[in-house]
Amino acid sequence: MFQSRWIKGKKYLTIVKGNTSYGCIGASGFGKTVFSEKIVELHRSMGYKIIYVFDPKDDCEAAFMGLKPIYKKHIARLHLQGQDPDREPYKVRVNHPISRSVRTIPFNQIPETNFFTIPINSFTDDDIKFLLEDFGEDEKYALFENVLAMLTPQDSAYHFRLKMKMSRERQDIMLKHKNMVKDDFDSLDDGSYGKIDRADRINNILKPFVNDGFITPGDYHLNIDIPKILNDRDVIDIFSCRYLKKGKEKAFVGFWVLDKIFRALPKAKYPVLIVFPELRRITPRHPKGYERILSKKIADLLKTVRSLNCSVVADAQAVSMVDEDVINSFVEKAYGRLAAGAETSYYYKTERMPSIQVEALKRCDRGQFIISSLVKEGLWNVDLPTHLHSEEEIKYDTVFRQQYPERMYTYKPLVTEFRKDCKNMLKSAHKMKKEQDDHEKKIKQRKEKKFENKDKNKLIEIEQEVKLKKEEEKLRRDEIIREVVRQTDGSGNQLTIPEVQKELATMGIPKVGKDLIRKYRKQENIIEPKETVEEIIEIPEEKKTKKKNSKWV
């Protein structure tokens, strides 16, 4: 539902319907932000909680809602609109992730800011997909999720990276000792070890976040409470990352906040209006990597605003600059002055806008719009906001210092204390790793000792088997020799020693000595044959010759 009022022949927007999504499209400098601010003011009058999730230009543009107007033209226009320019501006709270990096957060005086941290144990499946820049749930995802589940409320991102490194070392051990049981490394589930390079890649992804340090344990005192913020309707909350340097870190903070809002909306006390300024910087036309995950999250939010009891407003310079799925998910669109080179075919084909209206958009003034559901009603005008509007020539910090010098603070003590806490977290993580390494070393030693004892027992068993086999072979050999010794020839005479040796050789027992044969005969009480006796006393020819030729003969 839209309502208007007329001032000097122009129709001004005064009432909008809640629980819907508004997209404002128009050229730069022709009132896109003014339209968004008007939607914010109207929703605030309806009891909505206002949240700016992103600050794409890093200039705290939305924080101007907490400042009084300073331009004469603006003040005169407010009088014309019947509004008091001297009224107290909105309460605004700028939220910014704290950082331990050098020269990230300035130590000089800056406007009042709520520095916060993000608890690592609050990461959801969507957060993991954002960090991995992948929609799929592959082995990297399983490894990330598994190590995340191992964390305690006292564990920080340092603990996470070290546990990920330890999982890499375990995988290395598993590759070296394939016989070792996985239960010995009881920190990870079966099938979630992943390859070694996956653990390294996850650690590399988290490295810049760890360097800044704003991902902290679940019980850290600076952790932000999104449900609590949603229930504080009197304050307009703005999330900015203007002091951070990495684009992915900035996007992740906004994504994390949006995800927590998305999950907390069903239990929120009040309806919520979420604002996305400069949508093209958040969800570009052809998103890549983590931008795809973020675009899908915003598109899902736009499609479910009514059921979640919230509204969304966003602005962009042209339809072609924003992700197609996102721009098509808005329920209402307000079209302002066409940007140079804007695709008029979209207005003809998609919005089915008459050519006369398209031509009107090419010539409309600042603050004039055509609403997609009310195309036939022509141009609508938007009032100027009751607060200071951001302009290129003024800086937020400068005006804030002029209007609220008592709320300018230096956050050096807070950052210094946070750095000390980060060092303690790092020490705690290394202590945890040392204890875990000692524990695993004992397990490994116990396992290796078990394998060593197992090998010794196996060697003893083999030796016993060999010894038993030898004994059995000896018994069999003795039995054969005794049997042959007891044999007689056809005349009933005992075999001679050469005949016994020959017979044994044919049975596979060669080289049996004469003394051994005589020993068996004696044991068997066999009388030596006559030939054997003669053979014993007979002197070999060699010995006879030697004695004859010897000097002492």
DSSP one-letter code for 341: T
Determine the average pLDDT of the residues in 145-151: 87
pLDDT for 318: 83
Q: How far is CA 270 from CA 18, 21, 274, 493, in A?
A: 12, 17, 13, 123
CB contact set of 282 (below 8 Å; sequence gap of 6+): 54, 56, 251, 254, 276, 294, 298
**pLDDT at residue 113, rounded to an integer:** 96
* Over residues 446-469, mean pLDDT: 78
Of 279, 274, 209, 277, the closest CA to residue 244 belongs to 209
**Distance between alpha carbon 527 and the CA centroid of its chain, in Å?**
95
The DSSP bridge partners found for residue 6 are 11
Burial 116-149 (b: 16+ CB within 10 A, else e): bbbbbbbbeebbbbbbbebeeeeebbbbbbbbbe
Does the pLDDT at position 544 exceed 80?
A: no
Q: 491 vs 42, which has greater pLDDT?
A: 42
Q: How confident is the model at residue 406 (pLDDT cuts 50, 70, 90)?
A: very high
Q: Report whether 96 contacts 241 (CB < 8 A).
A: yes
Share of the chain above pLDDT 70, in %: 86
pLDDT in tens, 339-373: 765 567 777 777 777 787 878 788 888 888 888 88
Contact between 53 and 275 under an 8 Å Cβ cutoff? The reply is yes
Residue 1 pLDDT more than 90? no
Q: Give me the residue spans of the domains in the chain.
A: 3-117+224-410, 140-200+427-450, 487-549
422 has a pLDDT exceeding 80: yes
- Give the lowest-confidence range in 233-237, 239-243, 500-504: 500-504
CB-based contacts of 209, cutoff 8 Å, min separation 6: 157, 215, 249, 252
**Which region among 34-38, 240-244, 388-392 has the lowest average model confidence (pLDDT)?**
388-392
Mean pLDDT of the chain: 82
- Collapsing DSSP to helix, strand or coil, 316 comes out as strand
**Torsion over CA: 25, 29, 35, 41 (sign):** positive
- 271/482 Cα distance (integer angstroms): 108
Residue 461: what pLDDT? Answer: 81
Helix H or strand E segment including 21: strand 21-25
Distance of CA 157 to CAs 119, 348, 429, 438, 548, Å? 9, 51, 9, 22, 103
- Which pLDDT does position 126 carry in this prediction? 93
Least confident window among 99-113, 126-140, 280-294, 428-442: 428-442
Alpha-carbon gap, residue 343 to 106, rounded angstroms: 43
Here the tokens at position 197 are 């390079």
Q: Kindly state the percentage of the chain with pLDDT values over 90.
A: 35
Mean pLDDT value of segment 435-455:
76
- 118 or 78, which is more confident? 118
- Of 68, 61, 409, 43, the closest CA to residue 239 belongs to 61
- Predicted local distance difference test score (pLDDT) of residue 179: 41
Give the SS3 label for residue 160. helix
Q: What angle do CA 467, 470, 472 make, to 5 degrees?
A: 110
- Residue 533, pLDDT > 60, answer no
Residue 521's pLDDT band (cuts 50, 70, 90):
confident
Q: Cα separation of 523 and 181, whole Å? A: 59
- In this predicted structure, what is the pLDDT of residue 420? 94
User: Which pLDDT band holds residue 170 (cuts at 50, 70, 90)?
Assistant: low
Lowest mean pLDDT among 125-139, 260-274, 304-318, 335-349: 335-349
What is the CB-side half-sphere exposure of residue 127 using CA atoms within 13 A? 23
For residues 219 and 434, which has the higher predicted lDDT (pLDDT)? Answer: 219
State mean pLDDT over 386-392.
85
Q: Which CATH architecture has domain 3-117+224-410?
A: 3-Layer(aba) Sandwich (3.40)
Beta strand spans in 277-331 (E): 310-316
CA 297 – CA 295 distance, rounded (Å): 5
**Over the stretch 301-324, which tens digit does the pLDDT of each residue have?**
999 988 899 999 999 988 888 999
Query: What are the DSSP calls for 92-119, one per residue?
Result: EEEEEE---STTTS-SS-EE--EEEBEE
Which of 139-148, 252-261, 392-401, 460-469 shows the highest mean pLDDT?
252-261
Residue 513 has, within 13 A of its CA and on its CB side, a CA count of 3
DSSP summary character for residue 5 = E
Given a cut of 80, is residue 542 above it in pLDDT? no
Highest mean pLDDT among 36-40, 273-277, 507-511: 273-277
pLDDT tier, 235 (very low <50, low <70, confident <90, very high otherwise): very high
Residue entry with tokens 């399983």: 142
